[in-house]
Homo-oligomer: A and B are copies of this chain.
Amino acid sequence: MAILTSTTASGVANGTSNGTSNGSAQLSPSELDAKKLILNLVDKPKPIPAPESLVFGEIKTDHMLVVHFDPVNGWSAPEIKPYGPLSIDPASSCLQYCPNVFEGMKAYIGPDGEARLFRPEKNMQRLARSAARVALPKFDQDALLTLIKRLILVDKRWIPTKPGYSLYIRPTIIGTRSNLGVRHSDTATLFVILSPAVPTSKMASIQSRYSQYLIPFALGPEIDAASKGYDQILWLLETDCQSGEKGKKELRITEVGAMNVFVVVKRDDGHLDLITPPLDGTILPGVTRSSTLALAEAHTSGDITLPGVPSTLKLYTQEQPLTMSKLSTLYSEGKVVEFFGVGTAAIIAPVNKIGWNGQDLLVKQESPDGLGVIGHGILEMITGIQTGKTKFEDWSVPCE
């Protein structure tokens, strides 16, 4: 089939295209339905770039999934079509008031050549929660997962087979109401795009403070951090002191870059604490965060042994507020043995330097990947599950 022009290829602008629906004969808006899928494949697939040349999020695959929603027709027939621009009205809420939500997921090729997703139902649940929060339409989570699997199979040749590499998946829902009055968007477009991804990026150093409220994509402070030689922002939230001192403030660590945070602390009994901030509404309920906690607990209970971690070493997970003053104290006592961010993009990323009050807290590891024993063990375990080499519960979901 030919590559469609951008105008006809996408009905975003008018928001009324509803491929196979019955129009006025229809009594209730259509659910998102994977069986209605329209396949519209490229004539000339793009060449696959060498994995070594990849930069995260830069290259997209041949195809994308697009579905439109309006309150009368419901969800349109989903379409897998050539990757290309969407046609968007300039008054559209996605450009004005930005009721837009997205997820980050990954597909992996295992030694058996099969494409797999990692705990994808968690991403579907979170996307549905995000959509509800900005009053975007509901969608059938199973149907979307089926469609994503189908899209991955269409572009399966794009999944790098090199260890550590993967195919990054970006499901996105945007509001398309083209009226400048401030209201929730009752029309929407759901699309999924794919980008081949490099392994864990190394982050040599991370700084600094940004207090008061987590603006998830405040893009100014990032430039400031880069200009000072740091890669990412360590996001802090100024809150009332929990110690009981009235009126006193404390700075809680929330996320690093767009990742959840873990600090590994030496205990007096020789074992380790894995401390991560609790899900109190100020941080992302990360899939990798929840997986890290579950795997540490499985190691401690003896159900698994994390690669390279002694089976007798216990890892006590602690979901508790982590303030900068507490971190500083643990650091000065020599108890901070590892610090890392966890997230879908990087899985586990070492934080080796934290700029704070004009000084640098150094948590350097001598290993080639910059990770310590615990970070490395969890990374190995997760990548083993993701590629189907290791079985753990039902975390790895084949696309076939």
Contacts and interface: CB of A to CB of B under 8 A. Distances in A.
A219 B86 CA distance: 24
State the number of copies, please: 2
Contact of A95 (B94, B132, B182): B94
A172 B90 contact: yes
Contact of A56 (B102, B180, B257): B180
Contact of A58 (B98, B179, B218): B179
A254 B350 CA distance: 41
A202 interface: no
Contacts of A98: 98, 100, 217
29 contacts: A6-B13, A56-B180, A56-B181, A57-B91, A58-B180, A64-B90, A85-B90, A86-B87, A86-B88, A86-B89, A86-B95, A94-B94, A96-B102, A96-B172, A97-B217, A98-B100, A133-B220, A134-B218, A134-B219, A135-B219, A135-B223, A168-B180, A180-B195, A182-B219, A182-B258, A184-B220, A184-B222, A184-B223, A246-B246
A99 B5 contact: no
Contacts of A57: 91, 179-181
Interface string A50-86: 0000011110100010000000000000000001111
Given A12-B85, A13-B6, A172-B96, A60 B219 contact: no
A7 interface: yes
Contacts of A97: 217, 219
A99 to B, nearest CB: 5
Interface in A207-262: 213, 217-220, 222-223, 240, 246-247, 257-258
B86 A90 contact: yes
A134 B57 CA distance: 20
Interface residues on A, range: 35 or more
Contacts of A179: 55, 57-58
A154 B134 CA distance: 37
Contacts of A94: 94-95
Interface of A: 5-7, 12-13, 55-58, 60, 64, 83-91, 94-100, 102, 132-135, 168, 170, 172, 174, 179-185, 191, 193, 195, 213, 217-220, 222-223, 240, 246-247, 257-258
A217 B99 contact: yes
A174 B220 contact: no
A87 B87 contact: yes
A100 B96 contact: yes
Contacts of A183: 219, 222
A383 B218 CA distance: 37
A282 B88 CA distance: 31
Q: Determine which residue in A84, A180, A182 has the highest number of CB atoms from chain B within 10 A of its CB, and name it.
A: A180
A212 to B, nearest CB: 8
B85 A87 contact: yes
Contact of A5 (B7, B12, B134, B195): B7
Contacts of A195: 91, 180
The 9 closest A-B pairs by CB, nearest first: A57-B180, A13-B85, A246-B247, A98-B98, A184-B219, A246-B246, A85-B87, A97-B217, A57-B181
B220 A134 contact: yes
A98 B222 CA distance: 15
A6 B87 CA distance: 7
A335 B340 CA distance: 57
A56 B132 CA distance: 25
A69 B217 CA distance: 21
A170 B180 contact: yes
Nearest to A87: B85
